[in-house]
Amino acid sequence: MDVTGKVKVVMDKQSFDSGFEKREFVITTAEQYPQDIKFELYKEKCDIIDAFKVDEEVTVHFNIRGNEYNGRYYVNLNAWKIDKGDTIEDQGMGGQVAETATESAFDGADDSDDLPF
């Protein structure tokens, strides 16, 4: 999946005793109702955000990761690639997500003017 927006915040790298490293950053989408979305970078990918500045438009490619711990559920957005964004496409959502929504909305639709009631 991917989403386009402007870099809002880049946080410091966090290192853990196990040797694991992660870094978080936030982008703001350019939609009618802008969203602040937090992403995580892991291990060797922590430094890829350094190539971008706050307020710079980017496209973030990510995977959704979910897990359960002690009966609670968590969702993380694991970024694996960041590109410079020149235009906001599909109001901040990646083309793949928007196409799927568009296709399902019109499946089986016909052009008649019949009302369902």
Per-residue model confidence as pLDDT tens digits over 17-62: 998 899 999 999 999 999 999 999 999 899 999 999 999 999 999 9
pLDDT score, position 107: 47
Q: By mean pLDDT, which of 26-35, 63-72, 92-101 is the weakest?
A: 92-101
* CA neighbours closer than 13 Å in the CB half-sphere of residue 86: 0
Which helix (H) or strand (E) segment holds residue 105: the answer is helix 95-106
User: CA 52, 31, 50 angle in degrees (round to 5)?
Assistant: 10
Take residue 70 and report the two structure tokens written for it. 């002690």
Output the pLDDT for position 19.
86
Fold of 2-103: OB fold (Dihydrolipoamide Acetyltransferase, E2P) (2.40.50)
Of 16-30, 49-63, 68-82, 99-113, the range with the lowest mean pLDDT is 99-113
Instruction: Please indicate, yes or no, whether the overall pTM of this predicted structure exceeds 0.85.
Output: no
